[in-house]
Chain A
């Protein structure tokens, strides 16, 4: 079963705008990760945030984590056409496996 849910399910924005997607999970985590998936391909790891961290940056990506609300957000700034993809959050609950959410389909309009 999938423990996380992303919101929105789909998002379309103009190139250059910022994109924000949210993730909720159900139980305590060790860390939360975000992945990108281009159509029909495997997933690419973007960023990992540990449970004792509140914010993390990597290039144009900013991730926040609110463990009291069991939620995370991914912000992509200055979006590009190449950012068009599905984005998934994945939670690690202290065992060895990741549990993925349902994903947000992001479309960047040139």
Chain B
């Protein structure tokens, strides 16, 4: 088990382009979370999955954002028509929530919209 893997590590895109990020969680974990973090702030919740079901979406997740977790394994986060305000670190985490364990985070994907 190599932990939570996120790809790519860095992405620079022009405003208006679409981008897609991938997260591979720890295989035994049935819960997967996406967070966004801007400089100097704590992570902000975007959405989470239990297996393949998307159970909650933050109001931060505008219509330009969509996340999927087909077959309850890896997940993708797509941002359409990127804006400069989308520039941030996008973090993925997974857990097998039992109230005794925390999240395992990936290293994140840093998005820069120019």
Q: Please report A residues at the B interface, Cβ cutoff 8 Å.
A: 1-2, 4, 30-31, 33, 35, 40-45, 48, 50, 88, 90, 92, 95-103
Cβ–Cβ < 8 Å partners of B40 in chain A? 103
Cβ–Cβ < 8 Å partners of B110 in chain A? 40
- Determine if B91 is an interface residue (Cβ-Cβ < 8 Å): yes
Q: A50-B99, A97-B33, A97-B48 are in contact. Are A44 and B105 (CB under 8 A)?
A: yes
Residue from B42, B45, B101, B106 in contact with A97 in the complex, judged by beta carbons closer than 8 Å: B45
Residue from B99, B102, B104 in contact with A30 in the complex, judged by beta carbons closer than 8 Å: B99
Inter-chain contact A103/B31, CB cutoff 8 Å: no
Cβ–Cβ < 8 Å partners of B4 in chain A? 42
Q: A31-B99, A43-B43, A101-B42 are in contact. Are A95 and B105 (CB under 8 A)?
A: no
Interface size on B, residues (CB 8 A): 30
Q: A42-B91, A97-B56 are in contact. Are A48 and B101 (CB under 8 A)?
A: yes
* Chain B residue, CB-CB nearest to A30: B99
* Chain B residue, CB-CB nearest to A47: B102
Q: A40-B110, A96-B50, A97-B56 are in contact. Are A48 and B102 (CB under 8 A)?
A: yes
- The CA of A96 and the CA of B89, in the complex, are separated in Å by 22
Cβ–Cβ < 8 Å partners of B105 in chain A? 35, 42-45
